[in-house]
Amino acid sequence: MDKKVSVVVPIYKVEKYLDRCVGSIINQTYKNLEIVLVDDGSPDNCPAMCEAWAEKDSRIKVVHKKNGGLPDARNAGIDVVTGEYLLFVDSDDWIEPQTVAELVEVIEEKNVDFVTFGAVWDGRAGIPDGTPCTYEKSRQVGKGYYDKARIQKEIYPRVLVTPDLYFGPILSACFSIYRKEFLDKNGIRFDAEIKYCEDHVYNCRVAVFAESFYVTDKHYYHYCFNGASISQSFHADAWDIAKKRCTYFEKYFTGCTKFDSELQLKRIAIFCVLNGLSERRYIKNPDEKVAYIRKIFNDPMTKKAMKHIGVAKVPRKKRFLLILVKLRMVKLYNRIYCH
């Protein structure tokens, strides 16, 4: 019999998109599924919609919980799944009908810890639907089989963050299928305190622990642009979360001998500062924007991170930006980068 695949869907205030998402999962050509809908305390009609779906399809389990954020919801789903393989789908996105069948075929044929795949944009202004999601060249991961030697050579040197500070390799939680045993054996879960960019620490741990994985160039996931999503609005706690993320990197990787952890922890601290500063683009009030920038510039973590800007292999424009942060030149930074 086909091995069971568990699909975890965290749900919060997405009643407009939920039917499309769940419909794409129940209509998979691969039928041995366990679909876990995690209602993360959603205040709209989503809880009732989840129950209605469960009545229609016996493969669906519903978990109702107090709101704790996306990583906490994913963990709640992981805690109850019983499948051999695990897939995450965000509730405002959807997947192609053959996704699970083809991914199971690959993960079994290649006998790897996980398989990662491509995604396409949906609903993003100026980009036609179905356009493959592409990122900076330094972040890309080439197609094919990765054994430990290839992981050490191609992934470890940029596992936490690329030298040019454009994030780490693309190993997105939603663009991968995992052996559940691999995640359990290595204690890999999402850190509930990291509410934004929650994939980053998780994906780094996945990459460091993996003995092997496979990258397919097929695109199964529709990454839908939802203007109301958590990634498209200002969050007053964004800087605090960025600092927590840095703390978790230090917790998991300080002293790690698999790669140059000292170097990459310096780079990731700088990246987290820039990531926190990027939140300024959602602040409309000019005075509030300046106050937000000043708070980050004067934070002890920022001062510590900026002592090491020499380790970043960045172009001239970004180097100048880092110098402004290091010298705490708030007004000049605001004038150049905030218009």
Q: How many domains does the chain have?
A: 2
| Domain match, 175 and 137 both | yes
DSSP secondary structure code for residue 2 in this structure: P
51 — alpha (psi -120 to 50), left (phi > 0) or beta? alpha
**Angle of helix 261-278 relative to helix 286-297, nearest 10 degrees?**
160
**Angle of helix 286-297 relative to helix 238-253, nearest 10 degrees?**
20
pLDDT at position 196:
85
What span, in angstroms and rounded, lies between the C-alpha atoms of 87 and 103?
Answer: 10
| Domain match, 39 and 148 both | yes
| Domain match, 140 and 181 both | yes
* The last residue of a domain, from among 163, 198, 231: 231
| Sequence-distant (≥ 6) Cβ neighbours of residue 278 within 8 angstroms | none
| Domain match, 205 and 277 both | no
pLDDT at position 293:
95
Question: Alpha helices of the chain — where are they, by DSSP H?
Answer: 18-26, 46-56, 70-80, 99-110, 148-150, 180-185, 199-209, 238-253, 261-278, 286-297, 300-305, 316-326, 330-337
Comparing C-alpha atoms, which of 192, 193, 171 is closest to residue 78?
Answer: 192
Phi, psi of 112, deg, nearest 5: -115, 170
SS3 content of the chain, % helix, strand, coil (to 5): 45, 15, 35
| Domain match, 127 and 185 both | yes
DSSP secondary structure code for residue 39 in this structure: E
| Domain match, 190 and 246 both | no
Q: What is the CATH number of the domain that holds 151?
A: 3.90.550.10
What span, in angstroms and rounded, lies between the C-alpha atoms of 80 and 63?
Answer: 9
How many DSSP H helices and E strands does the chain contain?
13, 9
pLDDT at position 281:
85
| Domain match, 254 and 120 both | no
| Domain match, 164 and 195 both | yes
Comparing C-alpha atoms, which of 48, 38, 49, 99 is closest to residue 71?
Answer: 38
Segments of the chain scoring below 70 in pLDDT: 1, 227-233, 339
What span, in angstroms and rounded, lies between the C-alpha atoms of 35 and 179?
Answer: 16
* The last residue of a domain, from among 186, 208, 231: 231
| Domain match, 177 and 248 both | no
- Asked if residue 155 lies in contact with residue 207, where contact means CB atoms within 8 angstroms, the answer is yes
What span, in angstroms and rounded, lies between the C-alpha atoms of 197 and 211?
Answer: 25
DSSP secondary structure code for residue 312 in this structure: -
| Domain match, 219 and 300 both | no
DSSP secondary structure code for residue 105 in this structure: H
Range of the domain at 115: 5-231
| Sequence-distant (≥ 6) Cβ neighbours of residue 219 within 8 angstroms | 96, 117, 118, 119, 120, 132
Residue written as tokens 């009545």?
Answer: 55
| Domain match, 35 and 72 both | yes
pLDDT at position 232:
53
In this predicted model, what pLDDT tens digit does every residue of 110-140 receive, in sequence order?
A: 999 999 999 999 988 889 999 999 888 888 9
Other beta carbons within 10 Å of 58: 7
* The last residue of a domain, from among 205, 231, 257: 231
| Domain match, 182 and 259 both | no
